[in-house]
Structures are given as structure tokens and as C-alpha cells.
Amino acid sequence: MLGGAAKTLTNWLGGPFPFASTTETKIKRSPTNLSFPSNGCRCTTSAALHLPLTESASPGQFRVDILSESLPFIQKFRGKTIVVKYGGAAMKSPELQASVINDLVLLSCVGVHPVMVHGGGPEINHWLSRLNIEPVFRDGLRVTDAETMEIVSMVLVGKVNKTLVSLINKAGATAVGLSGMDGRLLTARPSPKSSDLGFVGEVARVDPTVIRSIVDSGQIPVVTSIAADEFGQPYNINADTVAGELAAALGAEKLILLTDVAGILEDRNNPESLVKKIDIKGVTKMMEDGIIGGGMIPKVGCCVRSLSQGVTTASIIDGRVPHSLLLEILTDEGAGTMITG
């Protein structure tokens, strides 16, 4: 369930994207209050440091009030780098995809420096199927032989990446697409399980020079998780891992992983048991106790590694919620679980 601040922001963003629309949209839902930052703590109460919004407020006044109340959050993140790993349901649904793209563009417009990292599993599977190649997975990881690696590269670099760049450009920002091989951004090494998985790799080294150049020019980098080793052999690398390592190398303020779950749950069978904020010690204990398991383990591990390398906070958020990026950044309530160092 979304709290008051989240509902307000989602209601406002339910209409046309504010920087791309020239027409007013009637607001049909009752407005509620946005909350102000509370020293990093997440709360479900809202501050009342503004004029109350009423049913009679015009759509224009409603939007201005919400933007005004977002100011402390915008000031907090202005000039800071935020690395967003994009995938899951948010990549498969056109509506959620548009939501993520618009969120990135809005953040860029107010002075935040977003960096997008993406995978593209469903699209890879689609093209493998069209070529009559059966996808094979072991322990949740794609088995990537030479033929599959060639297709993965073509799909991620040539199709998915360029589609995302085009969408961001269309929404009003300027995006630059690249893989880990461009500008020596990433150097890969074989995964310890490479004998079973083929060309599945890990990040051996990050040189963020090319990303910093793109960010400094006011553009949005869109990075796909393909990288080559020192001999030029391409590898398929988990996009969560790439996002975490890139966030650390950039000294990012925040790492955000979009997922298909609400966040970290105290009870995996109870979606209402969301842990809204936790530190490294707490999340490590949850893994040791078996509370965190399955596909959440590598995501949490990625967050912990990035935090230990200087990233301020890392969040695992629900990508099924429209505008979850803005809810995470521009409200106290967030859109999932925030992990701190």
C-alpha cells in the first residue's frame, strides 16, 4: 500500500509528463501531502509546512504545490549521481517503461545525474526463440556459449540499448548508449563458474572516465552489461553487478535496483512485511538467518558491496509501481527497501 506522499506524487504523475505536456489534465483524486526529509529516516506521516491542498485547487496550483514540496529532496540530490539498474516488469510493460524513462528525464531536468544500467533477459529469450535456440539456465544464470554470446551482444547492444536511448531522447533529454567495452568502461574476467556457464563474466575493473564525461556534458549514460576481458573476449555480466560496481567507481550518492517485488520482506510469504530501512549489519544477519533467499541474495550482495565501497545508500524498489524512481527519491516513504552503510 502506498502512503500519503506516494499517492500524491503518483496522482500528480498519473497525467501527462509535466515537462512534455502543453495541456492541463483534470485531477480527479483527492490530493494528500508530501513529506519532507527527516534525517534519512523513513516515515509514514507527512509534514504540514505548506498551504493545504483542497478539492477546489486548480490543477496548476496542485502541481505547483507538489513541486514546491519536492524542493528539499531536489536540493539533497542536485548535482549527485544516481545509478539505476533497469529490468524486470518495468522493462516488459510499455506503461512502466514510459514511467521509468519519464522519471529519469525529470530527475535530469532538476539537476540530478542519473546513470541507467540495463539487462534484457526477456528480449534475449525472444530472439533466441526466433532462431530456434533453447535458452538454458543453471542456478538462475544464463548458459552462454559462443553462439548465444553473439546473440546476447546483438540484442543488448544493438536493440535494447538503442531503444532506451531513443525513448529518453524522445522524452526530452539526451542519452548516450554504450556497453562496458566502450571507452574501456569495464574489463571483464571469467566467472568462477565459467566451465559450466560459458561466457558469463564478472567485473574485474571499472574505468568511469567515459561515463563522467557524458554526465558532465548534461547527458544520460545508458549502459548495457556486456564487457570484454583483456584479450577482447566478450562476456555477459549480470546487470545488477555492473550497476553496483559502476556506482562505487562513480562515487554515486545512491544505487537503485528495480525489481519485481516490494523490496526486502521479513516474511517472504507476506508482502505487507516490507523492511523500509536497514543497515549492512541487519541485512547480513537476515541472509545468515535464511530470511533473505533466492534471487534476492545476489541483489542484496550487490548493494552491500557498493555500500562498502563508498556509495551512500542502496535501494531495492518495486519496479511494478508507476514512477517508483521518483517515489524513492522525492519522498520520505520511498518505494521499497533502503540499505545504509
**What is the C-alpha separation between 320 and 124, in angstroms, rounded?**
21
Query: What b/e readout covers 126-145, taking b as 16+ CB neighbours within 10 angstroms?
Result: eebeeeeeeeeeeeebbbbe
180 tagged catalytic: no
**What is the C-alpha separation between 215 and 206, in angstroms, rounded?**
16
With beta carbons less than 8 A apart as the criterion, state whether 173 and 226 touch: no
**Which is catalytic among the residues 3, 65, 85, 244?**
85
User: Which of 181, 183, 197, 194 is CA-nearest to residue 233?
Assistant: 181
**Which is catalytic among the residues 88, 198, 201, 244?**
88
SS3 207: coil
The three cell numbers locating residue 23: 495541456
282 tagged catalytic: no
121 tagged catalytic: yes
Per DSSP bridges, beta strands 254-259 and 81-86 are parallel
Residue with cell 567515459: 210
Q: How many CA atoms lie within 13 A of 200 on its CB side?
A: 20
218 tagged catalytic: no
**Which is catalytic among the residues 299, 318, 334, 336?**
299
**Which is catalytic among the residues 121, 180, 334, 336?**
121
**What is the C-alpha separation between 60 and 335, in angstroms, rounded?**
26
232 tagged catalytic: no
**What is the C-alpha separation between 52 and 39, in angstroms, rounded?**
24
With beta carbons less than 8 A apart as the criterion, state whether 81 and 252 touch: yes
Per DSSP bridges, beta strands 175-179 and 220-224 are parallel
Q: How is residue 30 annotated by DSSP? A: P
Where are the extended beta strands (E) located within the chain? 81-86, 113-118, 137-138, 141-142, 175-179, 186-190, 200-206, 220-224, 226-228, 234-237, 254-259, 277-279, 313-318, 336-340
Ramachandran sector of residue 4 (left: φ over 0; alpha: ψ -120 to 50; beta: rest): alpha
**Which is catalytic among the residues 65, 103, 182, 240?**
240
Report, as residue numbers or ranges, the catalytic residues. Answer: 85, 88, 121, 240, 299
